Structure 1
Amino acid sequence: MISFEWVRSFLHGLAAPPGQICVACGNRGALSTTLPGLCPRCVSSIPWIRSIRCHRCGRAIGCPDCARAENLRRSFEMNRSAVRYDPLMREWLAVYKYRGKERMAPLLGTMLGTAYRALQREMTLSPHMIWQAQAVTFVPVSRERHIERGFNQAERLAEVLSHEVRLPVIPMLMRTQHTEKQSYKSRKERVESMRNIFAVHEDASFYMKKILMNLPQNENHQLIHLILVDDVYTTGSTLEACSQAIKRWGEERGIYFKIYTLTWARS
């Protein structure tokens, strides 16, 4: 016997528009073939960073931060981001990061892959030798923040990026202190709160040995091109603190890092 619930479900299916549900806007319809889970309308609304005004931080407009004296000698080579952090992108990140919609991770990570490939083109000097990093790592969160959110958003983005560009992802860092959310702080407070709160993970030596062993024999085995992933670049203080910790650790062991930071958005 056919139940009432089955009939209601069948009729609802007939009345609903065809297609799948967009992970961003929630509308049903045909989805993009280039970005996972996204409808064409949402694809067209993405504020991609296509031209760069600041070579150091990758901003699409002028950047007073990078002109500051204390920022002229940063520990990372440069930052590149996929999109401008406009109100729509702010909402997307809030849904993913604070409201637990982890289904957006493949989308945001794929978008991050666009930024990596742009960096790759920028760094490639010869068509016969394509530039490539050796590994991907990410900004860690504190234990308290991980419990609160249930995941580390930067780690998930790094995992998707790793799959996209076929690079190993390694947990290079851990956070030694819990800090309040950076979005509530002034620029000066951000810089101060980031001092000495990151340390290199105890398993980093194990991962680095594998990376060094897998490099081509004609390369300098003491130089690692490393991608450091985070969700948003605001002042660069978090990425700078992470880069400092990695470089100090490497120099003590005769390993020299060139760190390229990659963020989903640039504010």
Structure 2
Amino acid sequence: LYCGPFFSSAVMAGYALERFADDAAKTERLPQIADGSIRATLVLDDLNHPSQVGRLIAADQAGALTGSAPIVLDGCSAEVFFIVAREDSGLGLYALAAKAPGAEVSAQDSIDMTRKVARVTLQEAAGTRIGSVTPQSLSRFWDLTSVALAHEMIGGASRLLDETVEYTKGRYQFGRPIGSFQALKHRCADLLMNLEFAKAATQHAGFCLAASDQETIYPSMAKAMAADCFMEMARAAIQLRGGIGFTWENDTHLWFKRAKCDEVLLGAPYRHRARMMDILQETQDVA
């Protein structure tokens, strides 16, 4: 469980610059994010669905930003905010120093202690416009970050399964390892099967994104399947450990909390399945 700002800075802020920013901003900012000389985070006023972004934060013609984002990953440790804000003609991308006048950052409680979140409130904060955000580019950004998050969840589920299998081999009951009991062996086999299905979907989604810019259902499919898999693995890891799985002395509870937060980050599974249906319907209408 990595507690640093990799996903917020390298993934979310990096993809936002790559998809939305102008060439000058990319040239200046992307190398800084890549080498870690700055910590950036993306400020979105909604993390559930791309169609809902831009409702709470607005920019006037002078670039003054007003509004709030309830959940910002690593907002308290970021040095630079990249903010998607509503404009008269659509959405724009703005850069703002985290300690700029008019910007207030407050830490928020989260069940996941390994990934910090904050609330960002803006009151006529003077941002610098560095790009435009179209519905197509925002949807593509959502696909890219969802697949990146799905890969994280697959990695977490794999680690949980490996540690759980090792635990069942070393935990003895009635004079034999509990992993030798048929019920537990079948449970672990089912977990492995679900993991392989989700892993295949995630890898295919990444291949589709690398191969084409066309909108596809596979990123949302991967996010939904990986989230379900990670949560099921976390629940099973606690149950298969018995009483020790519920204690703070065992790290399994940290994995469970990360799984729960990742499940809803960028949209819960039901939202991504609904998004898949919307994309399929649009494809059929065009055909």
Fold equivalence (TM over 0.5): no
Structure number having the greater helix percentage: 2
User: If the TM-score is normalised by the length of the shorter chain, which range does it land in?
Assistant: under 0.3
- Taking structure 2 as the reference length, the TM-score comes to 0.24
